[in-house]
Chain A
Amino acid sequence: MSEVLLEVKNLKKHFVPHLTLAQTLAGGKKRVIKAVDGVSFSIMKGEIFGLIGESGSGKTTTGKLIMKLIEPTSGTITFDGEDVTFTNKAKTQEYRRKVQMIFQDPYASMNPRFKIRDVLLEPLIIHKMHGNRAEQIERVLKALTEVKLTPPEEFLVRYPHMLSGGQRQRTATARTLILNPKMLVADEPVSMIDLSTRAEILHMMKEVQRDLGLTYLYITHDLSTARYFTDRIAVMYLGRIVEMGPADEIIDNPIHPYTQALIAAVPEPQAGKVDIIKKLPISGEIPSPANIPSGCRFHTRCPYATEACANNPEPELMDAGNGHFHACARWKEIPKAQ
């Protein structure tokens, strides 16, 4: 459990959109959108690591950077002791075999004209694995069994539209497992699935992880499933990690005011809570990553911000003990969340 599988150091991704003709004529300057702005974390072997944030926090961009779907502006990604930040095509392909992705929308991530057999064979064909077709089919059947789509023979000839949302997400998981990856990146894998099946999919993913000794990066906006599913959590805000630590610790004792606000906003099924207007500690919405506030980037919405928060350089992640890291300069003065 102590061996580092993936390490990300000071990862940045800045997008510079082209100016429109009108903007150029008006003498406009190019904007820099800092989607990911200095993210560092490491994921241990066999761990489930959760990346939490609102939309616009850069969590999906971080996932894409790790999948090498886009190139980082700066920073390094080390996988299994090897620097994989900038690699040639062959190396990238080899890396992608080891790190696979499960997408959010199981309805859009499969070719509707492919049978499940073809959906699952494609990665094997691309990566030229398992020799001849008969052996490949053998592997496909095994992958289907691993995700509990039984009997597997029956699913081979079905089309994606014949499956329910849960079955599709199982197929998507089988498609990633077929290459014997070491790590899976799952970007909101259950947010499009009905609540009755959501638990089933998470449970299945956990079982697969245990059986095959996989490592997960779980990207989500949903703290409740993150607590159930992950070992450690990193909370992102505007392209940076503001708090990181063991899942239980973060949710029971949040330090950063942003994490506290996120937790306060989660509704809970309790009787008689009706018409108690929750006092949300923060107001407004997440600022644009093209225009990041100075100092601590959360100070514009923070209820505890002082002038120093806006003027001092941005706080780095600090250790509060027990592997609990946070980026709040005033953390000692901030009251604990109830």
Chain B
Amino acid sequence: MENLLEVKNLRLYYHTSKGAVKALDDVSFSLKEGETLGLVGESGCGKTTTGVALLKMPSPPGRIEKGSQIIIDGTDIVPLSDKEIRKNIRWEKISMVFQGAMNCLTPVYTIGRQMLETLNEHRMMEEKQAVELIKEYLGHVGLPPEVMNRYPHELSGGMKQRVVIASALFLKPRLVILDEPTTALDVIVQAQIINLLKELKKTFNLSFIFITHDLALEAEVSDRICVMYAGKIAELGTNAQIYGKEPLHPYTQKLLQATPLLHKKVDTLAFIPGTPPDLINPPTGCRFNPRCHCTMEKCFTEEPPLIEVEPGHQVACWRCVK
């Protein structure tokens, strides 16, 4: 399989009066066609920022720094102008389901009108054709065509999320970034949406980047998992490498131990003391060192590189450097 997306040395800094917030610092990964890559980590680790950077729309004062490369389908989109991005990339090649997007539907317009707006912006199309297309895509996400004439408040959370997913798909993107698409939903609705996403992926031959803080959910959907910490990749590996045996990075280990399991009763759950660091002045050495339970001297002086320990499994921890 070919690489659909390649991200190389991606850096996104927010330039504030107090200094540059290094929200993403030297992030590199690739995504094959038809693959689902999961991004996990605590809040403030750069998961959503990665998604937003791929669409090239960081909110000011954020800026993608020189030297970053985002190559989709063979073209680097970092040097492209806003106009080109809007015309050829955003929603055409990469689309995104934003966190809480279902609550961002305008309450005063019908679902159909809101969906038409996107379509009119990108495609010259007769209204009749456009309506047909919208109905078709509502069908794909399991909604009846009447939903077009409904207002958002008439729909349940799960239905709104389906509308948002349909809106992300109808320009036929290759890659869809899903940012916490099920966080606000109940477990049963969550399972329904996840099943829907898996079906859609097959039908439209999509690739997903699935952002969530729920490690249990990530295990269900992703082929490869990328664990992020403080704007950097801590560990990257296949589903089996991360969940199958003990993961290698202490951060991943702790995250997994902190996840309560339904079918295993434990007396005490692990937790990670402290909070993610200030990204204006991150700790020297490994960024995880103030919270890590197995530091050594080198961790405080030198930043660990992301090295490949076995094929497809990369870790940034001095403990894994032989």
Q: Taking beta carbons and an 8 Å cutoff, which residues of A are in contact with B?
A: 54-55, 164, 166, 194-200, 202-203, 221, 223-225, 227-228, 248, 251-252, 261-275, 277-278, 280, 282-283, 285-286
A247 to chain B, nearest CB (A): 8
B118 at the interface (CB under 8 A from A): no
Q: Is the CB of A271 within 8 A of B240?
A: yes
Q: In this assembly, does B4 line the interface, its C-beta being within 8 Å of a C-beta of chain A?
A: no
Beyond A196-B271, A251-B262, whether A274 also contacts B188 by CB under 8 A is no
Are B262 and A223 neighbours in the complex by a CB distance under 8 Å? yes
- Contact in complex: A267, B220 (CB < 8 Å): yes
Question: Given contacts A196-B42, A196-B255, A265-B187, are A203 and B219 in contact (CB under 8 A)?
Answer: no
Query: Which of B159, B189, B191, B242 has the largest number of chain A CB atoms within 10 A?
Result: B191
- Given A267-B219, A285-B189, answer yes or no on A272-B244 (Cβ-Cβ < 8 Å): yes
- Cα A278 to Cα B156 with chains together (Å): 22
Q: Write 5 A-B pairs (CB below 8 A) sorted by A numbering.
A: A196-B258, A198-B271, A199-B271, A265-B190, A272-B240
Q: Is the CB of B156 within 8 A of A285?
A: yes
B271 touches A197 (CB 8 A): yes
Docked-complex contact A195 and B214, CB < 8 angstroms: yes
- Nearest to A223 among chain B residues (CB) is B262
- Check A273/B219 contact, CB under 8 A, given A195-B259, A262-B187: yes
Residues of B within 8 A of A55 (CB): 157, 186
Picked from B42, B159, B192, B269, the residue with its CB within 8 Å of the CB of A199 is B269
- Within the complex, what minimum Cβ distance (angstroms) separates B271 from chain A? 4
Cα–Cα distance between A267 and B188 once the two chains are bound (Å): 10
Q: Do the beta carbons of A221 and B262 come within 8 Å of each other?
A: no
Whether B158 sits at the interface, judged by CB under 8 Å, is yes
**Please, how many angstroms separate the alpha-carbon atoms of A223 and B262 in the complex?**
7
Residues of B within 8 A of A54 (CB): 186-189
Contact for B263 among A221, A268, A283, CB less than 8 A: A268
Most chain B beta-carbon contacts within 10 A, residue among A252, A263, A273:
A273
Q: Is the CB of B258 within 8 A of A274?
A: no
Shortest CB–CB separation between residue B63 and chain A, in angstroms?
A: 27
> Which residues of chain A are near B199, meaning CB under 8 Å?
277
Report yes or no: A280 in contact with B191, Cβ–Cβ below 8 A: yes
Q: How far is the CB of A283 from chain B (nearest CB, A)?
A: 8
Asked if B261 is an interface residue, CB under 8 A from chain A, the answer is: yes
- With A194-B42, A196-B42, A227-B260 already in contact, the answer to whether A268 and B272 are too (CB < 8 A) is no
Question: Which chain B residues (39-63) contact chain A, with CB distance < 8 Å?
Answer: 42-43
Between A and B, how many residue pairs show CB distances below 8 Å?
A: 137
B10 sits at the interface (CB 8 A): no
Decide if B296 is an interface residue (CB 8 Å cutoff).
no
Query: Taking the nearest CB of chain B, how far is it from the CB of A204, in angstroms?
Result: 10
Assess the A196–B254 pair: CB atoms within 8 A.
yes
Q: 0/1 per residue, B225-260, Cβ < 8 Å to A?
A: 000000000000001101110000000001110111
| A272, B242: Cα distance in complex, Å | 10
Give the residue name and chain of the B residue nearest to A268 (CB). Answer: B216
Which residues of chain B come closer than 8 Å to A199, judged between CB atoms?
Answer: 258, 260, 269-271
CB distance from B162 to the nearest CB of A (A): 11
> What CA separation (Å) do A282 and B42 show in the bound complex?
32
Q: Is B158's CB under 8 angstroms from A285's CB?
A: yes
Residues of B within 8 A of A286 (CB): 186
Residues of B within 8 A of A267 (CB): 190-191, 194, 214, 216-217, 219-220
Q: Are A280 and B195 within 8 A (Cβ)?
A: yes
Besides the contacts A269-B218, A270-B243, A271-B243, what 5 more A-B pairs have beta carbons closer than 8 Å? Answer: A262-B188, A268-B261, A269-B219, A273-B219, A277-B199
- Contact residues, B246-305 vs A (CB, 8 A): 254-256, 258-263, 265-266, 268-273, 275
Instruction: Report how far A221 CA is from B43 CA in the complex, Å.
Output: 21
Q: Which chain B residues lie closer than 8 Å to A251 at the CB level?
A: 262-263
Asked if B314 is at the interface (CB within 8 A of a chain A CB), the reply is no
- What residues of chain B lie closer than 8 Å to A228, measured between beta carbons? 260, 265-266, 269
- Name which residue of chain A comes closest to B245, CB basis: A271
Verify if B207 is at the interface (C-beta below 8 Å from A).
no
Are A227 and B219 in contact, CB atoms less than 8 angstroms apart?
A: no
Is B188's CB under 8 angstroms from A265's CB? Answer: yes
* Contact B269 A202, beta carbon cutoff 8 Å: yes
Q: Would you call A221 and B216 a contact (CB within 8 A)?
A: no
Flag if A195 contacts B258 (CB, 8 Å). yes
Most chain B CB inside 10 Å of its own CB: which residue of A223, A262, A269: A269
Complex CA gap A275/B35 in Å reads 11
Residues of A contacting B262 with CB < 8 Å?
A: 223-224, 227, 251, 263, 266, 268
Please tell me if B66 contacts chain A, counting CB pairs below 8 Å: no
Q: Are B243 and A225 in contact (CB under 8 A)?
A: no
Say how far B93's CB is from chain A's closest CB, in angstroms: 24
Q: Report, nearest first, the 7 A-B pairs whose CB atoms are least far apart.
A: A271-B244, A199-B269, A200-B271, A265-B191, A54-B186, A271-B243, A196-B272
